Structure formats: C-alpha cells, structure tokens
Structure 1
Amino acid sequence: MPLNVQALANRSRFGWPVVVLFAVGCLVSTVTFARPFLTLEQWAHTTFTTKDGAPLGVRAIAQDRDGFLWFGSEEGLTRFDGVRFVRMFADQLPATPITALYAAGDGSLWTGDRYGSVTHIASDGAVTTYAPPTLLRATVMYLSQARDGTLWVITVSGAQSFRDGTWRRYTPEADGTPTEPLFQAYGDRHQRIWLLTEQKAYRHDPGAARFVPETLEAAKDAMLDRPGTSWRPNDLTSDEQVDADGALWIPTFRGLVRLHWPADKPAAGAPVEEWVKREDGLTGQEAENAFADRDGAIWVTTSGGIDRFRVGKLIPLAIVPAPYTPAIFADSSGGLWIDSLSNVPVVRYTDGAVRHPELGSRVERLAVAPDAAVWALGPEGLVRLDNGVTTPVPLPPDFALLKAMRVGSNTMAVTASGALWLGHMGTWRFDHGAWLDQRQIPGLPGHEAPPTAMAARGDTVWIGYTSDRLARVDEPDRQVRVLGRPEGLAVGNVLSLHPTSTDRVWVGGELGVQRMRDRRFVTLTGVGGERFSNVSGIWERADGELWLNAVRGLYRVPAEDIRAWEAAPTTRVRFELFDEQDGRQGIAKAYSGPSLASTDGHTLFVASARGVSRIDTLHVARNAFPATPVIDAINDMPVSAHDMRLPATTQRVDIDFTAAVLDRPGEARFMLRLLGADSDVWQETSNRRISYANLAPGAYRFEVKATNGDGLWSTSVASTGFSIAPAFYQTGWFRLLCAAAFAALLWLLYLTRVRSLRILMSARSIERESIARDLHDTLLQNLHALLLRVHLASKAVTDPDAQAKLQKAMEVTRQAVEEGRDKVSQLREERPPVHDFPERVERLAAALGDGQSSRVVLELRGAAQALCAPAEEDIYAIASELLSNAFRHAGAHTVTVTLDFSVRYFELSVRDDGVGMPAGSADLQDPRSGWGLVGMRERAGRLSGELRTSSSPGKGTFVRLRVPAHLAYWKPPGILARLRAWLRR
C-alpha cells in the first residue's frame, strides 16, 4: 500500500518511532555534497527549556505543511513557531499523553494517544476523534496515511487501519502480522511498512495482501537503505535521523551521538562518533527523540528540554581549541592566519588548522606581507617567517616589550616594498635592518597619540588614531599627511582601516563608517538611520559589495547601494545583518584586531569572540520556504472558518497571528491591515499581536502577510472576518427613535411657542379693543363735537374767506374722524391680507411731502407680498417717522424710499441727501436722540428686526429696517424658496 513519505518523520519514543529516510540521506559513499562535510562543532546548538515554554516528556514530533513544529507529550499537543511554544486544543483532545503524530499534506494533523484514540485536526481547526473498538485499543506507536486515504495505525498490540470511518485489524492468521508484541514500526523510502519484534521483522509491500517475514538485519538495512548494522548503539532510545552530510543522529541513554564515515571507507566500517552529552550542553542526560525538519535542522528532545542543531549562514572553522577573540589575516597563497588572546601558537588555516609555534608561544602583533612573509611580535621578540624559515629581528634598545594584555593586533602593517610599520607606544618603522621612531618621521602625530589601527596598500600606509585623526604615509620618502575633522573625518576613535586603492580608504570607528573621496570623508548611513558603529573589520568585494563586522553583527551592503551612495552621499543604503541566529560566535570586539579577511575574493572569514567562521558571499544560504501566516485568535478566542461576532460595547480587539520561522525567528516581519476601518493600508511590524481600540460596530476583515528569516514574503494572505454587534444605543432603530423624540420635542416647543403667541395675541387683541373703545368714546366723540362746533361757526361767519378756512378745517376734521373709525375697525377685527403696502407708503410720502420742496423716489425690489397686520402697522409707523423727519429736518433735494421683499427678510430703507445729523444724534440706543427714534427702536425690537442708521453732517442720512421674513410676511416663503435663495448667494 503506498504511503506518504512525510509520515516517516513522525516518531514516538514510547513505540520506537519511525525514521524518515529520503534519498538525500542515503549512500554517503556515492553522494557528492555542495559544501564540505561539517563536524558537530560546526553546527549551531540552541536549547529550549521550560523557561522558554518548551514541553517536557515529548513522545512525538511532526512538522506540518506551514512549517510549524508539533510536539506530542505528556502535557498534550504543543505548537512551536520559532518564538513561542503554545498549547493547542487542550480541551478538545480525548487524552493528554500524545504518543504519535502525523502531518498530512493537506495541512491537517493526526494524533495518537496512550489509550489508542486517533484524532484528526483539520487545517481550519476542526477536531474529530475516532476511537477504535475496545479490542483494538492500545498505545499508538506510529501513524501514516497512504495515498488512497487509508490511515495506518500501529499500536503495541499490532497493526490496524482506518478509512471512511471503518477500523480494520490485521491478524497473524489472515495478514501475517507477528504474534508477539511489537518492538518498533516504521516506513522506508520504498513505502514499505516494517514491523519489528525482539527477534523478527515483518514487511508489507505496497499493494500486497499480507506481511512477509524478514530478518532484523534486513529491516535495519532497509531503515537506512545501507548495509551493515554493527555500528548501531545498543542503548538507542529512538530511531535515527539523517542530515544533509549523510551523518546519523541517534538518541541514546548516554546522550546524543552523531555517526559518520570517512570518505575513503565503506559505510559498513567503523564510523566516527561525535557525542553531545549533558556536560556538553545537552538539556538532559538522556536523548529521547530526534527529528529532522524541512530546513535540515535536527531537533532532539530530552527530559530537560529541547535541543536544536542547525547549520547557519556562518559556518565555524573546526579549530580545537577554538581561538578566543582572534585577529585574522589572509596571505597571498590562500591561507588564513589566526592570532588570538589564547595562550596558544598562531594558526594557519587552509583545509585544516596548522599551528606555528616557531612564531612564539604567544603572539601579540601579527602582520602578513604582500610576499606572504609573516611578522610576529610577542614577549619573546619580533620574528619573520618566510618560506618556512624563521628569522629573529632585533628590537631597538629603547623599545619596551609588550605586556601580558594585548592592546590591539591591528597596529602592524607591511608595505609592498617590505617596510614594517608598528604601533607600540608610538609609531615605529623597520626597513633594511634599521629602526625609526616617530620622532624621526616628520609630520606624524606626537608621542601622546599612539596608533589604534594600521593598514597598508602598496607603498601607502594608513595609521589611525583617537579623536578623528588619520595619517597617510607614502613610501619610500615617507611623506606624511594628517587628516581629521577639517577633512570631514567623524568616526571618533579609529578602529579599522581598509584601503581599496592608494588614495581611497574605508575608515571604521566608534561612531560609524566613512570613506575618503576627493580628499573628503563621507559617512555611510543605513536605512532607518543605522550608523554602523564599532566596526572592527571592513572588506569590499571586487564588485563593490561591502561587508562590515561590528559589535551588533555582520553587515552586508549591496554593491548597487554603494554605487547609489557614491553618486548621492545622502542616500541611505540597505543592509542585511547576520548575528548569532546565523551562526556568528559571539560579538566582534572592536579592539581585538582585523576581524574580516578573504583568501579567494568571495569566501569571507569572520572573527568574533568565540572563534572564526566563514561565509560564501557569492552563495549565501537562503531559506527557500516562504513563511505561511496563521491567525490564531481574536480577543483570546480561537479563529474558526466562520466570521466571529464580538459582543456589543467591545472596546478593544486583540488579534494574535504568527508564522513558522524556525531558522531566524527574530528576523520575521509581518504586513497587516484591517479592512473596514478608517485606514486599510498595509503596516509592517515584527510583533505577533495587534490591538485595535474604539472600533465602531460593523463588519471587518483582518489580513496578514509574513516573511521568513531571509525576507521572503509569503505567497498567500491569511485573513479572517469579525463583526462587532452594536449596542442598543448604536442601532438604527434607536437613532430613529431619538430622531423621533427630538422631532417631538421640537413639535412640543413649537406648540408651546404657538400657545404663548396666542396668549400674546389675545392680550394684544384685548388691548386693541380697549384702545378702540377709548378712541371711540373719547377722541372720536370729541372730534364729532369739534366738527359740529366748526360747522356752527361757519354758519355764523359771513366773511367768505373765513368761511372757506372753516370749511377746510371741517374737511380735515371729517377725514380725521373717518381715519379714526378705520383705526377702530382695524383694532376690533383683523384686516384681510392685501398687497397694498407700497401704495400706502406712496400715499404717505405724498401726504407728508405736500408743500415740501423735496422729491420722493419709491424703489421696489422683489414681488410685493402681504404683510401681517401687526408687523405692517409697526413698519408703517417707522416709515412715517422716517419720512416725517426727512421732510422736516433734512432739507434734502431727494428722499429715496426702498422696499425689498426678499425671501429671507423684508427691508425698508430711507435715504436722503440732506444736511445730515449731528455727531452722536444718530445713535438709536441713546434716548437723548429723540422720542421718535426711541419709538422706532422699540417697534423694531418688537418685530425682532434690525434698525441701523448712518449719517454725518453734510452727507445725508441713511436708515434701514430689516425684519425676518417669517415675522414680516402674512405667508412666509417655503423651505425650497429659502434654499434657492441661499444657493444664489
């Protein structure tokens, strides 16, 4: 029956879990690997304990399609993304002790437990448990799924399968399975199932009907696809894992052993053993399980935690003992010279490490000449090694030997002509057997400025000092030029130098990195303001790519960015940072000496506190697996396939997300956005939780992308939807109810206003009736009496001229009686609306202007409308007062009366070109301006109108009355008319 080969990786210590063996791990003697064989010391070792959240009692390990590691243990099921160990499905699994795991190709996960149950966890998080019949229940040792969907379930009591909800048990009689208890089970790369007991083995071929007996030797050979089994330890606790070098990683009771064979010996011979035990840093005394992930890392579980072994981008050199705080130099024949603070001789490294005790038992200064000669200075003196011949070099009498603590190996350099420059309590030069000190080299900084770094290019020597000072010395005549802050040097204390030509040099210091260009120093700045501070090593590849070794890590700056920076020095360059996650062995101490060197132009050697590593700059190892983002929870509730509905009044939404980045988890980046919010743009973060506050009720969709440790973005976007239910006060019906209540309040206010107006109108009506009675009973009666007396007088007078005057008086009195009756009639009952206000004003102007020299002009704006009776009377009274004043006091030639019937207001204005009013008399708020003006102000206030006047002596007078339309007109304009008028403004 065909099997998915990924199942071979799912192992359990309880049942001696299965080993995954692919072709890459087989036949070491016939496979050629791209990189040299790496010893165990060259693998980076990382530990995870309970302090990091690692589970204990791990029985099975698997890696799913998205790259997450799953650990089945006594505590249950734990997922690891490279940063966090998270307990998963704690309340949904039937039993806590997980003894077998299988990650299917569709992203789902199968688990087996100690009590024989099998659980399927779908990629969307749905959990389904399948409990076998009672007779088949036993601890699950091994799980695998065939291509046809059949699930193989191997337990301590035998083999069984599960498909379409049906369990099948394989029996010795019908299927040829063993009768004795199983010792081990696994599947090989030919997709055959092997069952092992203490004495025998049984094989099931794909498509076969029965298991067939085999020898244990054949089973073990098939497990590794390699003949010979004598090399297997007898105390192994779990099955082996194969790495990319073909070496076997085997958990044992004594620790972890790595077995491999010399290239010139057959695999069946005695292997080379490399052990990692508790005293070597293993988290426990006993190694329990081993697992190889898809990136080639080996994971080992112990009783004390989890150990990971992986090959980083920086591969340590196999030097025993490892040099402490080394300084490195490359010679012209492809060798790397390594000097360190360790009390061991200098090492030259090519294919291996060769020590050179002839240079001294302890070397404090080292330099490699262009002709490959090596100069070494130590407590024993100065020696020169050339073609295997060591020659002592006498020191000047006043030269003090070095003390026990070295102050810097980067203060010695050799020019192309063979001159040796040395920094020690000043500057020294040695050539043709003669020594010169800095007092004999004019132009060098004084004795108080000891060198901090030296480098030579051709016959030019560069010497760095403290406080932004640098000296350039050109051989053979030793011309000295001192450079510093006037030339733009701003690195603080000079720590490293890398000349690229006779007139160009990279300078690294405490404050950053600069390069001299056109006799000026230009600062290199990285994206985000990176300063590249405390650089101890600088190396520029032939194509312009720049590498910097600093305390923070190893920087790589692309050549195209360097070219862009050269064209525009304000450009911020991109960079890639390699640190302990990539295999760097501790920090690079800035004072130790040159920490970067290359022997072939592309392989870069990197010195750091605990040793020397190498990296191929042309073929930097990259993770080809893109990260797959996963959204875990919203407000600590697991995300399901359906959109989540959050309760009303939710003030904060916390979303947890992650991605499996096992190689360089600290470099993982995420891009996320929330659709439905005010801003749905992508934002970048390194956190794995985002919080949103004060989200309005509604539907939202959260999306996230991720990078792996090498910046490769995911090809898919993880998304989930959620909605926030509105509170009752956020619903539409509540808003509608509030609007209705507000409208009802406005209506109530309107009714209250109408009622108050009715009361006011009733009071005015009563007042008008009282005035009407008073007018009728007093003024009209007196006028009648006066009219009668004048009539009698006219009868008694015989003078025609007197009679004519009395007749005129009688006519005026009669008109006054008639007007009084009209007033009484108007006070008694409302007059129907008429549009005759302009005519009334015109008659008023004619009557008042009779016998006057002033000319009256009436202007009409807009269509005349009927005014409401109370407003009309007040406006008419104000017009009468204004016209009367104009005729009596202005002495004007022309009096212009303007009536403006606007939809927003009614306006009456009177303008004359007369003598004007004295200063201060036009103030309508001042009672001293006259009772007529006071009365007009009171009438305007009663109409909620605006009465303004402007006048100055000799320039006439202008008075304007403006009354709101809804108070002035009998029928105020509608809303549409007002809107049109507002739009025309």
Structure 2
Amino acid sequence: MRLLLAIFLLTLLPLLSAERPRAMVRQWQSEDGLPGNVVRSMVQAADGYLWVATAEGIARFDGIDFDAIEPDGELRQLRFAFWRMFAPEDGSVWVATFQGGLFRIRDSRLERVVHEVARSRPPLINQLILDGSGVIHFLRGEEIWKVENGTPSQVEKPSQDLIDRFARDHEKQIAGGRAVDGVAAGTVAQLHTRDGRLWAADATGRLVIDGETPVDLPGVASPYVFNELLEDREGNVWVATPLSGLARVRRSRVEPLSTTDGPEPAAFGVMQDRSGVWWIANRRGGIDRWTEEGGVEHLELVPTGYQRPVATMFEDAKGQLWVAARGGSVFLRKPDGSFAQQFQRTQVPSKVRTMQQDGQGVLWFGGTQGLASYDGTAVHVYGESDGFPKCEVTVLMRDHDRMLVGTNDGQVFAGGSRGFRLLGNPAPLKHWWVSGLLAVSPDELWATTLGGGVFLWNGKSWQQFAADDGLPDARLTSVLSDDRGHLWFGSLGGILRASRQEFLDRANKPDRQIHWLRLDRSDGLPTRECIGGYQPAGWKGKDGRLWFPTGSGVVRVRPDLVEVNKVPPPVYLRSTRINGVQPEEQDGRIEAGPGRSRVEFRFVGLSYSAPEKVTYRARLQGLDDSWRELGNQRFAAYEAVPPGRYTFEVMAVNGDGVWSKQAARVAIRIKPHFWESAWFIFTVTALTLACTATIGWYLARRRMKQRIQALKIKNAREGERTRIARDLHDDLGASLTEISILSALAAEGGDESTMRPALDQLSNKAKAVVGTLDEIVWAVNPRDDTLRSLVDYLAAFAREFLDTAGIALRTDIPRNIPETPLDAPVRHGVFLAAREALNNLVKHSKATQARLAVLHEPTKLEIRIEDNGRGFSQEWEAKGYGVANLRERMQAAGGDCSISSIAGEGVTVTLTLPLLADPSTQA
C-alpha cells in the first residue's frame, strides 16, 4: 500500500507543480536609469507612482523612465544616506536617512524637515502616518513627533488614539503590502501578499513563495539579501536588493515548454492524440513525441536522408497518425512506430498543408495542389465540376456532416463528396490567407486570416473585425475556443483573447466595445511570434489548456488561471510645450501665443505589470473633438494651432484593455495677434460693411442720378421738340399763311399804287420768316451751346432788331467771353427773355436810344437792357408790363430777372444767370 501511495504521489507531483504559475522577474539597474544599484527602500504613492530610494539618490519610476529627485538649494552640496520612504494617504512622499533626518519631496525637490543627529547611532525614523485631522506624525526611535506648517515638534503626551494608529500601521505592514521590518531586526524581510502568499527567504537564503516556489533573480548571488519587499496595487511584488538594483516579480500567464532539442527550437504545429501524447512538428525536420512524464522523443519520417519539416499532422478515427512533410509526401505511422509513405511522389495528394476526416471515414487532404479525398482505395481530386476552383488549400475543418475549406486567396467553401459551394461573397476577405476555422453552429463560423484579422460568417455574409475594432495584430495564425466564453487567437504579435459575446454584440451594434487581452514577452512568451501557415497551428488539450507553436518552441496557457489586470491605469500630464517652451501652468490653465503655435504634450499612464503595453488616445477639444489613437506613444503634437481656447485630454488603457477612470486634461488659451483679435476682426468687418454700404449707396445714387439725367435729357428733348413744333406752327406757320395771302392779293393784279404796299409787306414778312427760321436753327444747333454764342447772337439780334425799329443801340460787351458750355434750353430761355425785353422796349418805351451791356464773372452772367424812354411806375409793373413773363422765362433757365424804372427816365431790365466756375479761368 505504501509503495502504491508513493508511486501515486510521484506521478501526481509533476502535475501539481505544473499548476503553479511560473514567476517572471524583470530587473532595472543603473544602465536603465536607476540612480544606483543599491536600493534601500520603495513606496507606491497615492497617485500610483513608484518611488525608489538608492544609495545614489531618489527617483520616481513610471514603469519605463526614472526621474531623479534633486535636493534643493545648499542641500545639493551634501550627501545623504537614505534609508526608508513613506507615502501616507494624503499623496505626499517622505524619505528618512540613516542619520535620523527626514525630507519631504515636493515639486521634484527634496525639502528638509528634520535635521540629522550628529552621533554614531542616531534614532531612526521608521514609521510615518497621518492622524485623524490630517497631520503628519512619525516615530523617531521611541519618540513620537509631528509636522505642522513644515515645522517638526515632539509630542510630549501622545493620545491613545495616536498610539493605536501607529500600532495598526505596523500590523498593516506585517499583514501585507510592504515588508521592511526584517532589516532593522536583523532578519530577512517577509511579505504577505493580498492573494495569501508568503514571500520570504528560505534557510539557504533563496527568495521563495510559500516556502517552496523559488524566485530566481538574475544576477543576484546566493544567499539573497533583500532590503525591502513591496506589493503594488496590481499585485506585482517589488524587491529592493542591496547590490542588484530593483526587481519586479509577477506571475507568468504563459508557460513555455522545452519540448524540442537542438539549435532550432521553432515549432510549426502541435496536436494531442487520444492517449494524451503531444505531437510537435519542428523546424529541424521529423516529428517530436512529448509527454509530461517522459519528456521529448524525436522521430524521423525516413530512416536516412534529408528530413523535411512536418507541415501538418492528423489522427484518424482508428487512432493512426498521418503526417505530411512540407512540400513532400504523406506518411502513416505504423504500429511499430515507423512511418511509411502512402502515395507516390507524383501522385496527388502531395505538398499537403492540412488534413481532416469526415463522418464516413474519408480522409481529406488540402495543400498547394488543391483539395483531394481518399476513401482507403482511391484518391479523388476536386475541381471546377465539383464546385471547387483550382486554388491552394490552407486549412480544413470538419463541422458535423460537412467539410469546411479555407484557401490562400480568402475563400471559404462548405461541402463534401457531392461537391462544394462558396460561403457568401469573398470580397470582404480581400484575398487574405485563411489560417484558421472554428465552427460554432451552421450560422456562426469564425475564420482567421494572415493580415486581415478575424471574420464572422453569420449564415448570410462575412463581417470583419480588425484594427478599427481594437484588434492588436491582424496577422492571425489560429483560433481556439476555451469553452468559457472566450476566443483565443495565435498571432505574429502574441496570443490574443476576446469575448465571443462581445464580438456578436459589436456585429449587431458597432458602438459596442471589444476588450482584448494580449499575451507577449511581458507575460512569459519567449517570443511574440506564433507560427502560422501550418496545421494544427493551435490546439486545445484534454485538460483545457491551449497550446500554440512559436518561433521559440511550444507554449501553453491555462485560461482559468489567466487573471486580467483590472486596475485602471492613472494617466498624468508630464509637460506641455508651446513652440518648444514650457509655459507656467496656473489653476490647470496655460496661456501662450500670440499667433499659430506648435503644441506638444507629454504624458504617462501608470501600469507596472506591463508598462510597455499601455496605449493612449488623445484629443484637443476645440480643434478636433474626435479621439486620436496614439498606440504606446507617450506624446502628442499639434502643428500650427490657431488662436483660441482648447482643452487637451488623454486616456490610457493597460495591456488587458482596462481604461483610465478619468482623463488627464489641461486648458490652453493661445492668444491671437492684434489683427487676429475679436475686436480687430469686428472693427474691420464693421468698416468693410460700412464701406460696402457706402459704395453701394454711392453707386445706387449715381445710377439714380444717371437715370434722372437721362430723364431730364429725354424731357428736354421732348420739350425742345415741342417748342420747335410750336415755333414752327405759331411763327413760321402764321407767317407763311400771311405770305400766302399777300401773294394771292398781289397776284390778283391792280395798279402799282395798290400792289406796292402788298409787295413791301410780303417782303418784310418773308424777311421775318427767315429770321424766325434762323433763330430756330440757332436754338437747336449743338455747336452753339456756349456762352459766347449766346452773347454774340443776342448782340446781333438786338442790333438788327433795334435798327429796324429806328432806335440807336450802344453795346458794352467784353471781348473775352469764354466758350463755357451752356445747355440749349438755358441758352434759348435767356435769349427769349432778352428778346422779350427788347420787344417791350420797342413797343412801350418810345425811346430813341438803347444800351445792351453784358457783365461776365466766373460764376455769373448779367445782361442789362436800358433805354431812355418814358419809363413806368411801380403800379404799372404790378399790372404786368411783361415782368411776370420775363421772370418765368429766366427762372425756367435757372436764372432771375429784375426791372427798375423811374417815370420819365427810362427802364433797366437785368437778366442774371448763375454759371459753373470754369477750371481754366480758375487757374
């Protein structure tokens, strides 16, 4: 019985030990930016940053970069031996020295709070807490001190509540989170983590978990000595070593297996047979048989000669192993363990990539030469007549009573011995290499591609999930289901996992999000690249583990032990630079400018489990409200940002798809140049509108004037035509009628005494008609539209008219009357007024002499007609005497008329016409 029990325990022990996740260790030393390799203390502050105290100084660590903290002022000249760090709940960070001093870190500077004690064994500060009112208290030796307003003072009579707080803080350190007391007590530090594990050194000095799982720290010689152990909020354990820097220990989520021997560990395919034996196709040729107990056994396909790598493996319904060499023949493993070639080299199937068996026991082969089946006696090659085109087959899968076939040009077929049909329109697959198939139901088929991501066949069409859906790497090599609601994918960028239900939800509602988990080197993968192009490219074992071939051997994942880091990564803005200069920030706001500026932001998201997998998205509200995916780039730059008000926001997501709780943001105002300011733009706009309105008004007024002028010209022409018609009718018509009558009388004959008066009268009337016609021609001739023509014609008319009446005329007319333009209506109206005055002089004055005087000034023309007749009184003027008619004529011409007379002394008629100033005379 004891022997059987011992055998059972020996058999079970490897399995039990295999259940424990492997510990992964990452170290940082001085070449990585750590101030020194002698690490004495470390804390995680309330904001999530990790602070490290070394013999060479203090640094803040964000998982990638160390920011050294410098002493302030004269403290830079001194050297301090830092001992222990503290991070109370208020977010402050403190550090104590071996000389009993205490510093506070504020704005990346060290501020001294407590001075060192100048003696050999000064009391050390080994605890620092906050009391109920938010005041810092620390334990210095056996004394309790406090810090208020930056000044330390001893607490003479501490309250019981304060004493209890120190006791609880001591128990908290012992219970978990941080182990620091071991160094002071001369024993090795111990850490109780939140998952119930105990981290400590064993009797030999090795760091072990729960007393049995060793943690090998690279570069640390045995026995190990640790100054401190710290568990961060994500469950990582940090080790402060006295010589080897800072180390982080976390659980491996991937288990690499050393299943291959030799210099080329790459595995092309992996599968498990019914007996639990694992078969591995490796790069160096042949095939490996592996078991937990027996390890690796290498088998050759042919006894001698060149060993081709295996492209695919398959176990049929009888438990027989079929193997196809890459670019070569198909082999069947015999009961004695050897392999026998099944088909001639020139016979199809050959160059096989994938194999399967249907429900009727027919074997199917797919590869470079297409698709073929073998029923045990004959090989049938499928072609166009079977609904299958000539193409390269990359993957085969049995789904109940049908076979599913994927090709290298993005086509998926379903069918069997009776023929095949193409599933849907292959256009969405865009000729991508189909690398894996997973059938859940007839209306749910998952297909992976090398470059195009994953595709879902819903029974009607294909739907793609790629980078826009958050897929970390579209170069997928396989797809597996863990039967826990997740799909797992091998890829050239690591092992990926996503929820099947989230896929289906996003297929129906594109706003739904898919949370991706990516496993890579930080999770224990020896290489990120999973091998693709061979089958099987992934396998689910009988125990539920998922196996993937990689370029560094085979790895396996236990899905139920893969813990997701659910701690949201806090994200912080580290700096903002505008045109290369970092401006001062006041109340979360920054002002810069004037004018367009280059704005650059630097930020960091804190996730210490896998800091290199933290990715970011950012946006500059006011410029572009859409989020911009930045990958793992920790800065964002915007070129030529115009003046305005903006808010920059950035979010971080850890490697397991958990987003920051809130975005880091900063408000920015870029001031404009004065010509870009609102008041300037408003003023210019207002002036532009005013000028536009003024010009529009001016143009409208000008057009109106032109229209009025045109109407005036038209009216003047019509009036002139009317006047000419009237003159022709009244003067010429009447005169010609009278001439006709006189001519008829003369024609009747008679003696000379009776004919002479009629002929004289006829002659006079003819002369009058000629004068009237001459006047009409002068009035309408455009060449006479001048002031000089008016004066000359008026003088000639007056001379001829008064000479006929027998009245002597004396003229007083300047010789330099200019050729000032004068409108025809004005010219004719002045002439008619002057003629009316001369008619009145001849009819009523009984004068013997008359005087015509013309006075010309630049702005006025004055015509005076004087006589030496009998004159008239003012009463006669009121009765008419032609005065009203004269004034009407002059006012119609734009001028005026005045008449003065004294009875018995003659009459003076003055005609006044305003003139426009002549520029030539002005000069």
CA shift at 1:436, angstroms? 3.7
Do the aligned residues in 2 keep the contact of 1:643 with 1:723 (CA within 8 Å)?
no
CA shift at 1:109, angstroms? 0.6
Distance 1:162 1:612, change over 3 A: farther
Q: Which amino acid aligns with 1:70?
A: W
Distance 1:784 1:452, change over 3 A: closer
Per the alignment, residue 614 of structure 2 pairs with 668
Per the alignment, residue 86 of structure 1 pairs with 67
How does the TM-score come out when normalised to structure 1? 0.54
Q: Which amino acid aligns with 1:278?
A: G
Distance 1:840 1:197, change over 3 A: farther
Q: Which amino acid aligns with 1:596?
A: G
CA shift at 1:60, angstroms? 1.9
SS of the residue corresponding to residue 275 of structure 1 reads: coil
Q: Aligned pair 1:128/2:74, yes or no?
A: no
CA shift at 1:257, angstroms? 3.5
User: Of 19, 22, 36, which aligns to 1:42?
Assistant: 22
Do the aligned residues in 1 keep the contact of 2:518 with 2:655 (CA within 8 Å)?
no
Per the alignment, residue 892 of structure 1 pairs with none
CA shift at 1:293, angstroms? 1.7
Q: How does 1:636-715 map to 2 (within 5 A)?
A: 642=587, 651-670=597-616, 672=618, 685-686=630-631, 687-691=633-637, 702-715=648-661
Do the aligned residues in 1 keep the contact of 2:647 with 2:666 (CA within 8 Å)?
yes
SS of the residue corresponding to residue 603 of structure 2 reads: strand
Distance 1:66 1:344, change over 3 A: farther
User: Of 470, 494, 517, which aligns to 1:553?
Assistant: 494
User: Of 197, 208, 211, which aligns to 1:259?
Assistant: 208
Distance 1:490 1:113 in 2: 65
SS of the residue corresponding to residue 810 of structure 1 reads: helix
Q: How does 1:473-552 map to 2 (within 5 A)?
A: 474=416, 478-481=417-420, 490-500=430-440, 506-512=446-452, 522=462, 524-528=464-468, 533-540=474-481, 546-552=487-493
Per the alignment, residue 232 of structure 2 pairs with 293
Q: How does 1:469-868 map to 2 (within 5 A)?
A: 474=416, 478-481=417-420, 490-500=430-440, 506-512=446-452, 522=462, 524-528=464-468, 533-540=474-481, 546-560=487-501, 562-563=503-504, 574=514, 576=516, 578-580=518-520, 581-586=522-527, 587-599=529-541, 604-613=546-555, 621-635=563-577, 642=587, 651-670=597-616, 672=618, 685-686=630-631, 687-691=633-637, 702-720=648-666, 791=802, 793-795=804-806, 810-811=838-839, 826=860
Distance 2:179 2:516 in 1: 46
User: Of 333, 337, 341, which aligns to 1:383?
Assistant: 333
Do the aligned residues in 2 keep the contact of 1:537 with 1:596 (CA within 8 Å)?
yes
CA shift at 1:538, angstroms? 1.7
CA shift at 1:101, angstroms? 1.4
Distance 1:36 1:83, change over 3 A: farther
Do the aligned residues in 2 keep the contact of 1:534 with 1:590 (CA within 8 Å)?
no
Distance 2:615 2:29 in 1: 25
Give per-residue Cα distances to partners, 1:419-456, cap 9 Å, x unaligned. 4445688677666xx45445699978999977543333
Distance 1:695 1:397 in 2: 70
Do the aligned residues in 1 keep the contact of 2:236 with 2:250 (CA within 8 Å)?
yes
Give per-residue Cα distances to partners, 1:275-303, cap 9 Å, x unaligned. 344399x9x99877643322121334565
Distance 2:855 2:841 in 1: 12
Q: Aligned pair 1:415/2:386, yes or no?
A: no
Give the gaps of 5 or more residues in structure 1.
Answer: 1-34, 171-183, 202-215, 221-235, 262-266, 740-774, 798-803, 829-838, 849-868, 878-934, 943-985
Per the alignment, residue 875 of structure 2 pairs with none
Give per-residue Cα distances to partners, 1:939-978, cap 9 Å, x unaligned. 9xx9xxxxxxxxxxxxxxxxxxxxxxxxxxxxxxxxxxxx
Give per-residue Cα distances to partners, 1:611-636, cap 9 Å, x unaligned. 55555668863333222232333337
Distance 2:888 2:497 in 1: 96
Per the alignment, residue 254 of structure 2 pairs with 315
User: Of 127, 132, 143, which aligns to 1:144?
Assistant: 127
Per the alignment, residue 111 of structure 1 pairs with 95
Total equivalences in the alignment: 690
Q: How does 1:54-73 map to 2 (within 5 A)?
A: 54-57=34-37, 58-73=39-54
Do the aligned residues in 1 keep the contact of 2:598 with 2:640 (CA within 8 Å)?
yes
Distance 1:673 1:394 in 2: 64
Do the aligned residues in 2 keep the contact of 1:527 with 1:575 (CA within 8 Å)?
no
Q: Which amino acid aligns with 1:131?
A: V
Distance 1:643 1:546 in 2: 44
Distance 2:851 2:239 in 1: 124
Distance 1:420 1:125, change over 3 A: same
Do the aligned residues in 1 keep the contact of 2:590 with 2:666 (CA within 8 Å)?
no
CA shift at 1:360, angstroms? 7.6
Distance 1:436 1:72, change over 3 A: farther
Per the alignment, residue 859 of structure 1 pairs with none
CA shift at 1:654, angstroms? 3.6
Do the aligned residues in 1 keep the contact of 2:206 with 2:215 (CA within 8 Å)?
yes
User: Of 96, 101, 105, which aligns to 2:85?
Assistant: 101
Distance 1:114 1:308, change over 3 A: same
Do the aligned residues in 2 keep the contact of 1:545 with 1:562 (CA within 8 Å)?
no
Give per-residue Cα distances to partners, 1:779-809, cap 9 Å, x unaligned. 9899789858854652469xxxxxx999858
Do the aligned residues in 1 keep the contact of 2:220 with 2:244 (CA within 8 Å)?
no
CA shift at 1:384, angstroms? 7.1
CA shift at 1:535, angstroms? 2.6
Do the aligned residues in 2 keep the contact of 1:115 with 1:139 (CA within 8 Å)?
yes
Identity over aligned pairs, percent: 18
Distance 1:51 1:619 in 2: 35
How does the TM-score come out when normalised to structure 2? 0.57
CA shift at 1:578, angstroms? 0.9
Distance 2:290 2:588 in 1: 64
Give per-residue Cα distances to partners, 1:191-232, cap 9 Å, x unaligned. 99997799xx6xxxxxxxxxxxxxx8xxx6xxxxxxxxxxxx
SS of the residue corresponding to residue 197 of structure 2 reads: coil
Distance 2:378 2:560 in 1: 43
Give per-residue Cα distances to partners, 1:891-935, cap 9 Å, x unaligned. xxxxxxxxxxxxxxxxxxxxxxxxxxxxxxxxxxxxxxxxxxxx9
Distance 1:193 1:553 in 2: 35
Do the aligned residues in 1 keep the contact of 2:620 with 2:648 (CA within 8 Å)?
yes
CA shift at 1:110, angstroms? 0.6
SS of the residue corresponding to residue 496 of structure 1 reads: strand
Distance 1:151 1:438, change over 3 A: farther
Q: Which amino acid aligns with 1:712?
A: V
Per the alignment, residue 189 of structure 1 pairs with 175
Q: Which amino acid aligns with 2:88?
A: A
Give per-residue Cα distances to partners, 1:512-562, cap 9 Å, x unaligned. 367695998736242538697543212357798644322133344544564
Distance 1:539 1:113 in 2: 55
Distance 1:430 1:42, change over 3 A: farther
Per the alignment, residue 76 of structure 1 pairs with 57
Q: How does 1:320-399 map to 2 (within 5 A)?
A: 324-325=266-267, 327-329=269-271, 337=278, 339-341=280-282, 345-347=288-290, 355=295, 357=297, 364=310, 367=313, 373=319, 375=321, 377=323, 382-383=332-333, 395-396=341-342, 398=344
Distance 1:321 1:257 in 2: 30
Q: Which amino acid aligns with 1:189?
A: A
Distance 1:69 1:49 in 2: 15
CA shift at 1:669, angstroms? 4.5
Q: Which amino acid aligns with 2:236?
A: A
Do the aligned residues in 1 keep the contact of 2:367 with 2:392 (CA within 8 Å)?
yes
RMSD: 6.4
